[in-house]
A and B are shown apart, each in its own frame.
Chain A
């Protein structure tokens, strides 16, 4: 899975990034240089010669990216720097390719002026274009030093944006909705600019595409909570207006837009205030440009960010299948950058941005730009080809040997993030510095560390309190690791001190759903030793990977444990329905079972020899089938066994070790369950999570396969075996009846066909048109 590469920061005092963030980040004519326009007076050209970006699949090399960190003036310097900016202009202006660590150029407008439109690069000429004070256009190039001295044109209307993409001339979008090519505008700067959009309509967002060499401009306007999309085919000068229908949720506000384009449609994605991403398809070539058309949006991704986040949210399409979303995933959590695969609806990767963002996000040439705290952060990210394997995280990476991989996922081996300082000495200075900051942000000892130390020495009671405290905390990224470490620590202590058995603690930890058998094999071993059936039941329910031998050991305990000791335990009875309630209704059912039982009628029996014995105690039989042969709690435990996963080959040898009377008991219980199953038409048991018929039948077969020679010798099992034999026989007869019915139906079908057949000869009328 393509993970977010290590970020690097382009922090700068020059960026007077206010609460509203930056004005814009735009591509320059060189792929690794970007124009950053702050919300004040400055435009900076950055070079983000990223290491490892050339080969984007390579994991980043932190020590190199650390060098890339750009050293700028500190915040305090910035405060003094109002005047400095002027003098530095001369300095910075001469900078060109000094090093990767510095911006290549910085240009500011005079004090009193303010840049109103982010600077863009005219790809055809390599010049930069910016608008300040809404109407004044400036064009300069790398050699220019002072923006005051460069080409200037004063326009007759206020500019919303200048849009520029590779391969075509920049377009100027005016606030009134008119669009001009830059060249045409410069030919006559004072030309009259018409008004396209109505009063009170405000342009919210715009994007410029080149589709089949035709420039296509889309911009979204808003008026009284209604959104309109305008698509301008620049060559043919066709402007189409669409009304964006917001759907059922009329009062949602669209927070952010992005768009991608394919052959026929512009796919406009919008992030609504309800936290969902919607997609609207806008045809590039409208059917009827004159008509005002409505567009319906469809839900693309649900609740990717919290609806009522305080901070801004942003959305950017990375490619056809991926979007990046900036925002808080949960109402209270920190802001996060997440990349989603919209085709498979999966989260590809995410990164927490604890210092907050301005809710702005740009993506150019495999770099994501955003304001993180006060600094402009660049995160290289390359979308992989969207594949199911990638979406499931199963894509294999061919890793270059020698490169150090910084895992973005929890590494179970090394307890990281616990502040224990297991830092790889090779890791970069920069990482260390960042960690220091993080640590300083959380000055108190992390609860996880505290917990681990508690485990080692404190009393059971105290541990329980600590564990509860820890679990009550919000889920931290290292939650899994801490839980794992805690359990390991507890179990180690259990082994060392036989009297130490923090049962409640373990129960709580198991219920976090993050443990598995392979993570703590000792847990079940200890529980087996202590005959703690409750814990074992919980393990059987929670762990997906219990080996067959352990399952079998559990079964042995469940069958052998005395009824009196069972009474004391607190077993989860969810899977057991109270079979003992033999109400009048039940007795009525019982009468029916004799007929129902899936074609099995105990009365009609051809096995005469065994029947004689059976007939002696007809009452016993009914009793046998009505009353559960095990107590409720044991039934619940056995049901946990029935639900567990197993492989026949590995289970069979272990089943042979179970004593014969226990086998018989279990068989009786399974047979009882089967009879209960066949009482209703759907062949299911009542209850919340009962064993299925297949599970019951499989276990009957397994037990008989493993112990047939033993069971067949036992007098007390005889009746059961006879019953099972009859059951199988009745099944066979049912199936043979079904086969007969199938054949009869086929014959009927044949007859039907013959009826439909129009005979061997007819004269018909045919008219050919």
Chain B
């Protein structure tokens, strides 16, 4: 099939931000995740857990609370004191509104979804009315004086509505308050025991509360307790000491028959309401299952009808399906751990052998090394020149970088934040490199969701968050706006993925849900639209010469669409008819990059986080009986057998987790790995658990 020299790169020092909040939306089966850097990501659980949207973070915007309201509207609140609503179509922030209560620590949407409650630093609980296009402050709830501190009550760290919407529970430091929503006055104040393993701690922080329809309030606190309170009498009913450290999060199932809590020790506990004896109607809450999928604090948990979802400082998003709720025991019932973003953070200049790494607030440019040696499979070759770190480009301002790209020739770098678009011209003189910013960007190039250079580096394609696609002509240090493809009237959907044909004639763009549009760059008009498919596009690319568009979807299907013919190719039809190998369909990370071999038109190169694959269209497709992945080289097998067992999918799982893989030239590949151990090494140390003694 082929022998390659592989530049195995492990110096991409990327560390995902820790997860702060998750919010599950039952209606759309989507999960919103906010990270400590303010990034908000939307995962579509129906589409194979694909991260289909994201909102870039902001240094000053630490998101502390996230919730869905009014069906599919997403709100967040944070320590900057603002409540924000996200536009899930245009992928930007609709508005931000100051709650005037200092940093916001908690937020909860009413059961009807029409009201929003926030808990602030100053101890106030504020009620907002959700109007069709904004939110409106309604009133404050009565604040109470704290007896212990002789001051106004402490910050409100957790909030929960009673399912009827008549009462709320608010968790603060050392106490839990119950408010009547109608009158806004406190009904009960329940003091939480500070004792921790017999030692009185300084404070007991109520990290989470949950109000059940029978009036029970469940609280979790920094002393490691899960407590059940009777809201009618304001008394403690039951207390479970489950951890030596903080219990930081709680989420209750809609049926109120099970809930999940996460602790600072990385453990997630499942509690279930089970009958006291086998056929009695009396039920009690029992801690049923502990799960240790995290090494660090579990800052947030969610409870979908079929799974426990948890996330925390160790940056993993974990889906743990509840076996008793899963109807079909298929691959969906398996544990899922999502660590890396489902988009490409790396671009590559093939001509100059450069790699551009995108971080939250800076870019790094590296030049790959070289070797003159040759070897056989598996050999590590001696380097004649090591890789160089050429450039460290810091962004200005507090906003995170959305996307970045380096041109194939290596002389242009472009990146964008939410409010600004940057284009740089690079000059190489021997070993020196100089950088010059192209100033005076036009107003419409304010924010881009995706940037792409044409193969000859003369054109720049920018997908703006308004839905428009801009084509910019680049020539020697200056640029000229050529054209803008406006979105079809009535749609505001942002385009997140771009692909341009190597001859520069075709541009394909894909949004989050609708089909892929193909534009004719020469004639500057829409050429065709690839038929819509149920699952979002995770990667696409246009093949040289044939101009076949290869599209990978989140359900692991790969299509090949002939742009000139405006139809799927025969190979694609054959694949669809026969179906992919079941192991191929069971992979749980999406394909994030597709490329082609310049000399072998039958080959498609693609990769996900755990494998790299060359599809040879000339070979027969594997059926479910054949071995999809054979890590061992064929030995002593006659050519006949080899030919008989050979199939189209040539897979390598040597490099993992694989964040980027591309073909530099005919015989050279570049693979960017990010070992999990390296990420863990950069995280703060987890809570140490003693092995010896007590």
Instruction: Identify which of A735, A742, A764 contacts B6 (C-beta below 8 A).
Output: A764
Q: Which residue on chain B has the smallest CB distance to residue A758?
A: B380
Q: Are B692 and A761 in contact (CB under 8 A)?
A: no
Given that A739-B691, A759-B10, A761-B10 are known contacts, is A766 also in contact with B4, CB under 8 Å in the complex? yes
Closest residue of chain B to A753, judged by CB?
A: B677
Does B278 sit within 8 A of A, measured CB to CB?
Answer: yes
Closest B residue by C-beta to A750? B681
Within 450-507 of A, Cβ neighbours of B (below 8 Å) are at none
Residue from B375, B386, B692 within 8 A of A765 (CB atoms): B375
CB pair B3–A761 under 8 Å, yes or no, is: no
Chain B residues in 8 Å Cβ range of A151: none
Q: How many residues of B contact A (CB 8 A)?
A: 40
A331 beta carbon closer than 8 Å to chain B: no
Query: Of the candidates B10, B377, B693, which one forms a contact with A767 in the assembled complex, judged by CB atoms under 8 Å apart?
Result: B377
Contact, CB under 8 Å: A763 / B1: no
Please tell me if B652 contacts chain A, counting CB pairs below 8 Å.
Answer: yes
Chain A: minimal CB distance from B692 (Å): 4
Residues on the A chain within 8 Å of B376, using CB: 765, 767
B642 to chain A, nearest CB (A): 8
Tell me the bound Cα distance from A761 to B677 in angstroms: 16
* A766–B652 touching, CB < 8 Å: yes
Contact across chains for B9 and A761 when beta carbons are under 8 A apart? yes
Structural contact, A765 and B377, CB atoms closer than 8 A:
yes
Q: Which residues of A contact B375 (CB under 8 A)?
A: 765
Binary interface profile of A, 726-769, with partner B (CB < 8 Å = 1, else 0)? Answer: 00000110011011001000000000010000111111111111
Q: Provide the residues of chain B in CB contact with A732, threshold 8 Å.
A: 693
Asked if A396 lies at the interface with its beta carbon under 8 angstroms from chain B, I say yes
Please, which residues of chain A bring their CB within 8 A of the CB of B418?
none
User: Which of A731, A732, A761 has the most C-beta atoms of chain B within 10 angstroms of its own C-beta?
Assistant: A761
**Closest B residue to A742 using CB positions:** B691
User: Contact between A739 and B6 (Cβ–Cβ < 8 Å)?
Assistant: no
B634: chain A residues at CB < 8 Å are: 769
Residue from the list A735, A760, A765, A766 in contact with B693, Cβ < 8 A: A735
Q: Which A642-696 residues sit within 8 Å CB-CB of chain B?
A: none
Give complex CA distance A732, B694 in Å.
Answer: 9
Q: Give the interface size class of chain A.
A: 20 to 34
A84 to B677 CA separation, bound complex (whole angstroms): 95
> Which of A761, A764, A769 is B650 in contact with, Cβ under 8 Å?
A769
Tell me the minimal C-beta distance from B604 to chain A in angstroms.
13
B369 at the interface (CB under 8 A from A): yes
| Cross-chain contact A762 with B8 (CB below 8 angstroms) | yes
Q: Which residues of A contact B6 (CB under 8 A)?
A: 763-766
CB <8 Å contact, B8 and A767: no
Q: Give Cα A19 to B454, complex, Å.
A: 100
A742-B691, A768-B2, A769-B650 known; A761-B369 Cβ under 8 A = yes
- B 637-692 contacts with A by CB, 8 A: 650-652, 654, 669, 677, 690-692
When C-beta atoms are compared, the residue in chain A nearest to B654 turns out to be A766
> Shortest beta-carbon distance, A442 to chain B, in Å?
43
Nearest A residue to B651 by beta-carbon distance?
A768
Q: Mark A227-263, 1 if CB is under 8 A from B, else 0.
A: 0000000000000000000000000000000000000
Q: What is the minimal beta-carbon distance from B557 to any residue of chain A, in angstroms?
A: 23
CB distance from A584 to the nearest CB of B (A): 36
Output the nearest chain B residue to A737 by Cβ-Cβ distance.
B692
Q: Are A768 and B691 in contact, with the CB atoms below 8 A?
A: no
Distance in angstroms from B673 CB to nearest chain A CB is 10
Q: Judging by beta carbons under 8 Å apart, are B10 and A764 in contact?
A: no
In whole Å, how far is B632's beta carbon from the nearest beta carbon of chain A? Answer: 9
Contacts of B583 in A (CB 8 A): none
Q: Which of B1, B9, B380 contacts A768 (CB 8 A)?
A: B1
How many angstroms from the CA of A739 to the CA of B652 in the assembled complex?
42
Task: Given A739-B692, A753-B677, A769-B633, decide whether A764 and B386 contact each other with a Cβ distance below 8 A.
Answer: no
Return the chain A residue nearest B376 by Cβ: A765
B383 contacts A769, C-beta separation under 8 Å: no
Return the chain B residue nearest A741 by Cβ.
Answer: B692
Q: Which residue in A738, A739, A760 is a CB contact (below 8 Å) of B11?
A: A760
Compute how far the CA of A742 lies from the CA of B688 in the bound complex, rounded to whole angstroms.
Answer: 12
Within the complex, which residue of B11, B377, B380, B654 is in contact with A763, where a contact is CB–CB below 8 Å?
Answer: B380
Q: A104 CB to closest chain B CB, in angstroms?
A: 43
- In whole angstroms, how far apart are the Cα atoms of A759 and B386 in the complex? 12
A742 to B692, CA, bound (A): 9
Residue of A nearest to B670 (CB): A763
Q: Are A396 and B278 in touch, CB under 8 angstroms?
A: yes
Contact for B377 among A396, A731, A766, CB less than 8 A:
A766
Interface pair A764/B692, CB less than 8 Å apart: no
Q: Are A765 and B3 CB-contacts (below 8 A) given A739-B693, A758-B380, A760-B10?
A: yes
B693:A764 contact, CB within 8 angstroms: no
Chain B 623-635 against A: per-residue CB contact (8 Å), 1 yes, 0 no?
A: 0000000100110
Taking a contact as CB atoms under 8 Å apart, the answer to whether A761 and B8 are in contact is: yes
Contact B381 A764, beta carbon cutoff 8 Å:
yes
Question: B2: which A residues are within 8 A, CB to CB?
Answer: 767-768
- The chain B residue sitting closest to A739, CB to CB, is B692
Q: Kindly list chain B residues whose C-beta atoms are within 8 Å of the C-beta of A769.
A: 1, 630, 633-634, 650
Contacts of A736 in B (CB 8 A): 693
CA distance A768 to B2 in the complex (A): 6
Please state if A739 and B9 are interface contacts (CB–CB under 8 Å). no
**Please, which residue of chain A has its CB at the minimum distance from the CB of B375?**
A765
Shortest Cβ distance from residue A616 to the other chain B in the assembled complex, whole angstroms? 33
User: B373 — nearest CB in chain A belongs to which residue?
Assistant: A763
Q: How far is the CB of B185 from chain A (nearest CB, A)?
A: 43
Please tell me if the beta carbons of B383 and A767 are within 8 angstroms of each other in the complex: no
Inter-chain contact A761/B379, CB cutoff 8 Å: no
CA distance A753 to B680 in the complex (A): 13
* Contact of B617 with A by CB under 8 A: no
Enumerate B376-394 residues with CB–CB distance to A below 8 Å: 376-381, 383, 386-387
The verdict on B5 contacting chain A, using a C-beta distance below 8 Å, is yes
The residues of A that contact B690 with a CB separation of less than 8 Å are 739
Q: Is the CB of A764 within 8 A of B11?
A: no
Contact B379 A765 (CB under 8 A): yes
B317 to chain A minimum Cβ distance, whole angstroms, is 26
The residue of chain B having its C-beta at the shortest distance from the C-beta of A740 within the complex is B692
Question: What is the CB-to-nearest-CB distance from A44 to chain B, in angstroms, rounded to a whole number?
Answer: 46
Q: Mark B1-31, 1 if CB is under 8 A from A, else 0.
A: 1111111111100000000000000000000
The contact string, 1 if C-beta is below 8 Å from chain A, for chain B 97-111, is 000000000000000
Is A764 a contact partner of B633 (Cβ separation < 8 A)?
no
- Closest partner residue, chain A, to B374 (CB atom): A765
Whether A761 pairs with B11 at a CB distance below 8 angstroms is: yes
Q: B33 on the interface (CB 8 Å rule)?
A: no
Q: How far is the CA of A10 from the CA of B380 in the complex (A)?
A: 86
* Whole-angstrom CA separation of A760 from B1 in the bound complex: 28
Q: Kindly state the separation between the CA atoms of A731 and B614 in the bound complex, as whole angstroms.
A: 61
* Chain A 431-446 interface mask (CB, 8 Å, partner B; 1/0): 0000000000000000
- Specify the chain B residue showing the minimal Cβ separation from A735: B693
Q: Which residues of A contact B369 (CB under 8 A)?
A: 761, 763
Which residues of chain B are near A762, meaning CB under 8 Å? 8, 380-381, 383
User: Is B505's CB within 8 Å of the partner chain A?
Assistant: no
Asked whether any CB of chain A lies closer than 8 Å to the CB of B136, the reply is: no
Complex: A162 Cα to B44 Cα, angstroms? 66
* Contact residues in A for B5 (Cβ distance below 8 Å): 763-766
| Shortest Cβ gap from B116 to chain A (Å) | 46
B630 touches A763 (CB 8 A): no
CA distance A738 to B693 in the complex (A): 9
A764 touches B652 (CB 8 A): no
Report how far A732 CA is from B10 CA in the complex, Å.
43
A764 CB → nearest B CB, Å: 5
Listed by A's residue number, 18 A-B pairs whose Cβ atoms lie within 8 Å are A396-B278, A739-B690, A753-B677, A758-B10, A758-B380, A760-B387, A761-B7, A761-B386, A763-B5, A763-B6, A763-B371, A764-B379, A765-B379, A766-B3, A766-B654, A767-B1, A767-B377, A769-B633
> What 10 A-B pairs come out closest when comparing CB atoms?
A735-B693, A767-B377, A738-B692, A760-B11, A768-B1, A768-B650, A767-B3, A735-B692, A765-B375, A760-B10
The residues of A with any CB-CB pair to B shorter than 8 Å are 396, 731-732, 735-736, 738-739, 742, 753, 758-769
